[in-house]
Structure 1
Amino acid sequence: MGTKGLVHVFLVSFPGQGHVNPLLRLAKRLTSKGLLVTFSAPEICGVEMKKANPNISNEPTSYGNGMIRCDFFEDEWDPSKPDGNDLEMYIQHLEIMIKKYAEQGSPASCLINNPFIPWVCDVAESLGIPSAMIWVQFASSFSSYYHYSHNLVPFPSEIQPKIVVQLPCMRLLKYDEIPKLEHDVVNHLSEILPIKTVGPLFKYPKVVSPSYVQGDFMKVENCIDWLDTKSTSSLVYISFGSVVILKKEQVEEIGNGLLNSLVKLVQNIDPILLPNGFLEKVGDKGKIVQWCPQEQVLSHPSMACFMTHCG
């Protein structure tokens, strides 16, 4: 399969693990529908992804009915600069990459980015390309931010700290209610902004992924065989993501609490931070890994609980 004639969608991600993952899932879903998708991010992100998976390439690869590739734009990152680099540098290198594909006969028909890099929308506008932003939080969260930033409804302040926030299409809730409000909130927001719901992305597409279409920043450790030996709903999975670094005292407190609770666990953490003798005491009741295939772990029948930082 070649790329000729395929509609080209260009995705740009903020260089963080929790931002790459959902955007890459969207990339896979679009590709499976018969599009050519370029997944991009600053080179500092590409370096980490290539360390974890050397098969990552900027050559288009078949996926479902379309083609996907990963291509990272130069950021000239200087670790000695505490504030990073000039934004203009990112914009310039991204524009160069997009123009390069246009000159090769594969112009981008749309740019999609995540919220932490809103300047991608400015690049799209300057090049005359339609753009969209993928929002991975609840629509009700977006509604809160939107109404606050535009001063559309009263919010708590130092003068009125106990004010009750009332947003359109969101009734006041009791603490024990689990609302199904997204439909009404999305309909309301659609009257203000163009919105297209595409989730939940982790369910799509039903395609066996090529080994290189992965966004991990660290090499994945296999723990699925170990999970297969455990009974249904018997394990707690603990992960605080790739950014948060817990203090040794915090890790020890969590570790001792787990030991005292007698729960079985899978934990994403650096073993160096664990309390002395923790691994010996846990034995086969637990599995400690620095990075694991999280989607496979969470969907495994042995899982009963997920302890996370909610990132």
Structure 2
Amino acid sequence: MTRAEVIFIPAPGVGHLGSTVEVSKLLVSRDDRISITIMIMNPSSDSTIVAFTQNLKKEALDRIAFVDIPAPDETTMAGLMSKGHLNFLMSFIECQKVQVRDMVASIMSRSQSFKLAGFVIDMFCTPMIDVANEFNVPSYVFFTSAAASLGVMLYIQSLKDNENLEINDLDVELSIPSFSKPVPAKVLPSVMLSKDGSDMIASIARRLRETKAIVVNTVLELEAHSVKSLGDDENTPAIYHVGPIIKLTDGESTSRETIKGWLDSQPPSSVVFLCFGSMGSFDPEQVTEIACALELSGQRFLWSLRSPSQEKETMALPKDYENYNGVLPEGFLERTAEIGKVIGWAPQVTVLSHPSVGGFVSHCGWNSTLESIWFGVPMAAWPLYAEQQLNAFKLVKELGFAVEIKMDYKKNDVGPTVLVKAEEIVRGIRCLMDEECEMRKKVKEMKDICRKAIAEGGSSYNSAGQFIEDLIDNIRN
């Protein structure tokens, strides 16, 4: 039997790497003709990212191999970082192309039992399309965010190329095909609101259109309007909707067991969980407002509070606090000891799956959004960066799965970051934890739909099967 060897190239970053490994597991478990090599680029020496990557490798299945691509030398890296955050990632990936080409050639020379079926690249790794073309195999994209966000990228590119337009008025509302309601410009990712940034997004979108298909981590029933709008665009590649692709286990750790033990002692659906993703942190003034809000609300809470990284490197993650002295209001921990717990890193799946958790104050990252829906936990939207504001808009205004805390909040944007006051946070938490809220019913219904989607005969199961046949067809010729 000739196997189909598939090269996966994820973007560096915890969310992108994790999703890539999970979709790889799905493919090899569904068809024993498929083998996968995941090529890992790591521009960061951040110990958290390194440890996360090592754990992913330990959990991988047979027929999934990992190849580490050496980072450029210090001089080259310094030159890349000098280009600024906006251009760093794309420039970094561009300079890895030669190494990727040589490594793939080496892999293919080792065995006659498999044929190269194609490259599956992250949405930020479009320079690798050139490498796939050198091997004369198709490129696919694994899009780790929502179908609606994919539609926004293509919309920005279409505005530029077909109408020569830029979005520079934050007060306008936009008719974007992948959204069913007009989208306020202020919830677009910051990168799309500058000339250089929108040029970069348009450049990526043009290359996305060159690929054979785009595999989206979403569920047809969750994003029916968005998926249909993409299918209606004759210039968009085929779309496979294969989600939710989520990791349903957390790594074992002492803190995980301690947190689970605390949750075990709380009443059902009584705890609000606050967590802002692998890159989420706040300055001391905002931390104080959150603490005051939790105390004012009287709500049981589990709060993942992390310190902004002091490292200058581009991909460095927030760290856990060694202690909370000077960070939290004096006496806060003592006054809330009976109802709350402040933690560092959070085992998010363990928490969201726990019956005592009744709501999730979230940054609305797409992985976190899918996890929350999978476990039937409604959200309060507090996005920070990237496409999270778009996700928040979709959750609050289109789907009714979340209440708003600050939907257009942008962390470290141009100008001062807006301070969200305790009163706004309290209002959001109380709406979130209202047991009679219609939102709870909606989220629980979508939880059941998502589980049916990945079961045999479901929409995602069938779409993943079509993608597998697409890959296999590439080695039959």
Question: Which bin holds the TM-score, normalised by the shorter protein?
Answer: 0.7 to 0.9
Q: Does residue 140 of the first structure (1) align with residue 184 of the second (2)?
A: no
Alignment of 1:40-189 (within 5 A): 40-44=39-43, 48-52=48-52, 57=57, 63=61, 66-76=62-72, 78=74, 82-83=81-82, 87-105=93-111, 108-151=116-159, 157=167, 165-168=174-177, 171-172=180-181, 180-189=224-233
Alignment match, 2:410: none
CA distance in 1, matches of 2:48, 2:109: 29
SS at the partner of 1:76? coil
Structure 1 segments unaligned to the other structure (5+ residues): none
CA distance in 2, matches of 1:5, 1:45: 37
CA gap of 1:179–1:52, structure 2 versus 1, over 3 A, is closer
**How many aligned residue pairs are there?**
291
* TM-score normalised according to structure 2 size: 0.52
SS at the partner of 1:245? coil
Deviation at 1:6, TM superposition (A): 3.9
* TM-score normalised according to structure 1 size: 0.76
Task: Report the aligned-residue RMSD.
Answer: 3.7
CA distance in 1, matches of 2:100, 2:92: 13
CA gap of 1:117–1:303, structure 2 versus 1, over 3 A, is same
* Aligned-residue identity in percent: 22
- What is the letter of the counterpart of residue 153 of structure 2? Y
Alignment match, 2:444: none
Alignment match, 1:274: 328
Alignment match, 2:279: 243
Deviation at 1:127, TM superposition (A): 2.4
- Residues 291, 329 of structure 2: 8 Å contact kept: yes
- Residues 173, 183 of structure 2: 8 Å contact kept: no
- Residues 143, 189 of structure 1: 8 Å contact kept: no
Alignment match, 1:39: 38
SS at the partner of 2:255? coil
SS at the partner of 1:93? helix
CA distance in 2, matches of 1:169, 1:245: 30
Alignment match, 1:221: 255
Deviation at 1:73, TM superposition (A): 0.8
CA distance in 1, matches of 2:43, 2:223: 40
SS at the partner of 1:187? helix
CA distance in 2, matches of 1:306, 1:300: 12
Alignment match, 1:195: 239
CA distance in 2, matches of 1:283, 1:161: 43
CA gap of 1:292–1:275, structure 2 versus 1, over 3 A, is same
- What is the letter of the counterpart of residue 23 of structure 1? T
CA distance in 2, matches of 1:181, 1:56: 34
Deviation at 1:172, TM superposition (A): 4.1
CA distance in 2, matches of 1:127, 1:179: 35
Deviation at 1:80, TM superposition (A): 5.1
Structure 2 segments unaligned to the other structure (5+ residues): 83-87, 185-221, 307-320, 366-477
Deviations 1:64-103 (A, max 9, x none): xx53233221113637553367555311222222222112
